[in-house]
Amino acid sequence: MVFALTGARVFDGENFQDGMAVVVEGPRISHCIPERELAAGVEKQKLAGGLLVPGFIDVQVNGGGGALLNHNPSADVVKTIAGSHHRFGTVGLLPTVITDAPEVTAAAISAVRAAREQGVANVLGIHVEGPFLDPARKGAHDPQYIRGFSDDDIKSLANANCGTVMLTVAPNKVPPETIRKLVASGIRVSLGHAEANYSDVRAALDSGASSFTHLFNAMSQMTGREPGMVGTALADDRSFIGIIADGLHVHDISLKLALKATAHDRFMLVTDAMPPAAGGPDHFELQGRSVQRVNGRLQLDDGTLAGSNLTMDEAVRYCVNHLGVSLASALQMASRNPARFLGRSDLGHIAPGALASLVHFDDNLNVIQTWVEGQ
């Protein structure tokens, strides 16, 4: 099927363009041309103004629409999570399994593999967040499941066969040689949940770690004599940095300073979403512990934050309306940057050959329609 999307301003991943037609052929964009040059007979899907942008990519999604991967690691749950976030502009995501028993992690990997085999196009892989973390910065992760690495762990992750595998580890608990083995196996290693010092983090980065999991949250902070994970992340010019932009996980001033400190093309918006996100309930169980939505916060009984009820479109709006980020930068943090992190040159931009995974916004940046691979 061939059709042309017209009538909206286009953000191609770098620039805004008016009067353009985005021609879709099957799952991909065939060409982008001025609408007046569109060949006769090509079906037009006229958009009522607004903005057509590359779809969002979220590399940290625990749940949504009432579903939680840890609670029921099945292909149906993966589909529910992917479908619920699709409505809010997410065209690619990594369902995320947090620290748990080994059999739960294994089941989550199998569930993602099965969902992909069943054709769930916006599931790009899996994010395994833990259990190789530092108990001193556990956050909402259950400490009974936090443990060290074994050779079997490396083998199982390397043989996951479920798309991209992203793994969050504590750089002061997982040695550089293990990180090198993981990276050599094709795993994207991210650093987080650790009371690590500069030397620990630098060694992990030099061994191939390529990102930081939710900057400021569950990590050592920057002080005058010790940069910690936060300072090292901002000083590094190679790695990517995930941020939760919801006004709850990080103070606006801290995020503004971080955005001033380093290039915007390193930041990735993530939701860290839990079941209440994308239309889910106010309460859920996390490994037998009660989590409630209280004044927008998802928290355990002791007040510890336990993920978010954020969607990617909300994160984009928050960056623009509260953090003073330009619309272009906010959209890049939601699409192009995570696509680059994942090595997906077919996502994150609107250009010939790219996948037709797109979002149509209204003038207030509310999602009107989402396409995944032309559908």
Name the residues annotated as catalytic: 272
Two tokens at 195? Answer: 């009371």
How far, in whole angstroms, is CA 93 from its chain's centroid?
6
How far, in whole angstroms, is CA 301 from its chain's centroid?
27
Does a cis peptide bond (omega within 30 degrees of 0) precede residue 131? Answer: yes
How many other C-beta atoms can be found within 10 angstroms of the C-beta atom of residue 174?
24
CA angle 217, 278, 95 (to 5 degrees): 60
Q: In which residue are the tokens 């940069």 written?
A: 227
Contact 29, 353 (CB under 8 A): yes
- CA separation for the pair 80, 63 (Å, rounded): 9
Kindly state the greatest CA–CA separation across the chain.
67
Instruction: For 64-79, give one letter per residue: b (16+ CB within 10 A) or e.
Output: bbbbbbbbbbbbebbb
- Cα Rg, the chain, nearest whole Å: 20
